[in-house]
């Protein structure tokens, strides 16, 4: 029976069916009764897209919850409730009785405890014999790289909660740097800038939408609506491109520091492979306009952008269901084993 590749991210969850392709790509958020948020059994009322619509506008008695923080499970019960909700969304008639197999990605820097927590949650959510794969390896497979060949590759995954830079070769990790500075921090930087420099308070969803419009490179200005901090009335502000760079550059530089660190950790022969082949970018935040160009100019090696930066991890995990060699080679390749 065909199985699933699952990418439970801080910002988005993607499920890829081995034969049908991506069957779910929705925000990692759920709505629960406020009284039930701390109870022993978390039963979400809404999961994914439906829940996202209520972010920042939840009525009294309800609250939104994110099951993951910085790419890892912090609340086992919340994560179990969320995964049960996700599995019921992707279930097709007949599946209720058949427990699907799955390969689930987990950050390469996740601890043994965090990995065990994810396996427990997956089994409780009805997944049969779940196996784990480091997220960068799943992403690499989804981008068409071969993590078993005797040549070094480097990938950079900038998601919502974490940025990870990983080099690997012949079934093992060569270098890994991870930072908790990623897309959420970029959103926060814009939010703080608008508040401090324009005295404008902007909602969470609106700042995120603004981040997806701005450009670090082109001289484009963007208009944003918010609430004036002094008068409490709605106001429009035009954000000039220099301001976008001023607001985002320190956060982008902190993300790039992980790439510089991983390059420093490489043995010389592997570094040569990377300088020739460059780095593959994926993860939603690498879609920030002008980001790839900044990486290229900072490091002067080729930068390739995944064709599907948001779904390649789940697609790679699904592909690994039929290529167990990759799963076996990397199942113990986590940073705590390096």
Ligand X SMILES: Nc1ncnc2c1ncn2[C@@H]1O[C@H](COP(=O)(O)OP(=O)(O)OP(=O)(O)O)[C@@H](O)[C@H]1O
CA distance 265 to 173: 11
Q: Would you say 12 or 333 has its CB closer to ligand X?
A: 12
Nearest CA among 303, 283, 198 for reference residue 244: 198
Task: Figure out which of the listed residues 134, 139, 147, 160 binds ligand X, where binding follows CB under 6 A.
Answer: 160
Rule CB under 6 A: is residue 314 a binding residue for ligand X?
no
Rule CB under 6 A: is residue 10 a binding residue for ligand X?
yes
The response to whether 81 counts as a known ligand-binding position is no
Give how far Cα 39 sits from Cα of 10, 47, 75, 77, 115, Å: 22, 18, 11, 9, 23
Nearest distance in Å: CB 10, ligand X:
3
Q: Would you say 5 or 71 has its CB closer to ligand X?
A: 71
Rule CB under 6 A: is residue 5 a binding residue for ligand X?
no
The response to whether 2 counts as a known ligand-binding position is no
Q: What is the three-class DSSP state of 173?
A: strand
Rule CB under 6 A: is residue 283 a binding residue for ligand X?
yes
- The residue count for binding ligand X (CB under 6 A) is 22
Rule CB under 6 A: is residue 211 a binding residue for ligand X?
yes
Q: What is the three-class DSSP state of 217?
A: coil
Q: Tokens 């049969």 correspond to what residue?
A: 128
Nearest CA among 72, 244, 286 for reference residue 159: 286
Structural element, H or E, at residue 276: helix 268-277
Q: Which structure tokens are listed for 142?
A: 């989804």
CA distance 9 to 205: 18
Give Cα 185 to chain centroid, integer Å. 13
CA distance 267 to 301: 17
The response to whether 161 counts as a known ligand-binding position is yes
Rule CB under 6 A: is residue 67 a binding residue for ligand X?
no
Q: Would you say 27 or 147 has its CB closer to ligand X?
A: 27
Q: Would you say 184 or 273 has its CB closer to ligand X?
A: 184
Contacts of 201-206 spanning 24+ positions with Cβ under 8 A? 201/226, 201/227, 201/228, 201/229, 202/226, 202/227, 203/56, 204/55, 204/56, 205/55, 205/56
Nearest distance in Å: CB 16, ligand X:
13
The response to whether 210 counts as a known ligand-binding position is yes
For strands 153-158 and 163-169, give the pairing. antiparallel
Name residues contacting ligand X, limited to 108-137 (CB under 6 A).
Answer: none
Task: Figure out which of the listed residues 285, 295, 312, 327 binds ligand X, where binding follows CB under 6 A.
Answer: 285
Rule CB under 6 A: is residue 182 a binding residue for ligand X?
yes
Residues in the chain: 338
Nearest distance in Å: CB 125, ligand X:
18
Task: Figure out which of the listed residues 112, 212, 260, 300 binds ligand X, where binding follows CB under 6 A.
Answer: 212
Stretch that binds ligand X, among 51-59, 263-271, 281-289, 317-325 (CB under 6 A): 281-289
Stretch that binds ligand X, among 31-39, 147-155, 159-167, 268-276 (CB under 6 A): 159-167
Tell me 215's DSSP state.
B
Q: Are 276 and 173 in contact (CB under 8 A)?
A: no
Q: In the stretch 70-109, what mask flags binding to ligand X with x, by CB under 6 A?
A: -x--------------------------------------
Q: What is the three-class DSSP state of 58?
A: coil
The response to whether 229 counts as a known ligand-binding position is no
Tell me 250's DSSP state.
H
Nearest distance in Å: CB 186, ligand X:
7
Rule CB under 6 A: is residue 288 a binding residue for ligand X?
yes
The response to whether 10 counts as a known ligand-binding position is yes
Nearest distance in Å: CB 255, ligand X:
11
The response to whether 194 counts as a known ligand-binding position is no
Question: Given the rule CB under 6 A, which residues bind ligand X?
Answer: 9-12, 28, 71, 159-162, 182-184, 208, 211-212, 283-285, 287-288, 310
């Amino acid at each position: 029976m065909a199985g699933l590749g699952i990418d439970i991210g801080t910002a988005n969850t993607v499920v890829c069916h081995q034969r049908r392709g991506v069957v779910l790509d929705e925000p990692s958020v759920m709505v629960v009764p406020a009284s039930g948020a701390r109870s022993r059994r978390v039963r979400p009322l809404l999961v994914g897209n439906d829940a996202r619509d209520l972010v920042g506008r939840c009525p009294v008695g309800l609250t939104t919850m994110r099951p993951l923080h910085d790419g890892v499970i912090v609340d086992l019960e919340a994560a179990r409730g969320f995964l049960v909700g996700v599995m019921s969304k992707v279930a097709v008639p007949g599946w209720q009785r058949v427990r699907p197999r799955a390969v689930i990605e987990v950050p390469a820097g996740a601890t043994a405890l965090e990995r065990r927590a994810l396996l427990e949650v997956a089994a409780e959510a009805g997944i049969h014999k779940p196996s784990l794969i480091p997220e960068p390896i799943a992403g690499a497979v989804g981008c068409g790289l071969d993590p078993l060949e005797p040549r070094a590759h480097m990938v950079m995954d900038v998601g919502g909660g974490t940025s990870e830079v990983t080099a690997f070769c012949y079934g093992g990790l060569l270098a890994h740097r991870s930072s908790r500075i990623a897309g959420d921090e970029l959103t926060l930087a814009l939010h703080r800038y608008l508040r401090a420099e324009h005295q404008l308070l902007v909602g969470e969803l609106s700042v995120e939408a603004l981040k997806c419009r701005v450009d670090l490179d082109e001289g484009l200005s963007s208009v944003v609506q918010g609430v004036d901090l002094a008068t409490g009335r709605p106001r429009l502000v035009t954000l000039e491109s220099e301001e976008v760079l001023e607001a985002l550059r320190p956060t982008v530089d902190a993300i790039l520091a992980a790439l510089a660190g991983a390059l420093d950790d490489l043995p010389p022969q592997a570094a040569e492979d990377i300088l020739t082949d460059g780095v593959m970018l994926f993860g939603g935040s690498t879609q920030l306009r002008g980001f790839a160009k900044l990486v290229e100019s900072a490091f002067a090696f080729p930068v390739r952008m995944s064709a599907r930066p948001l779904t390649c991890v789940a697609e790679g995990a699904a592909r690994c269901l039929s290529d167990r060699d990759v799963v076996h080679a990397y199942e113990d390749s986590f940073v705590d084993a390096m």
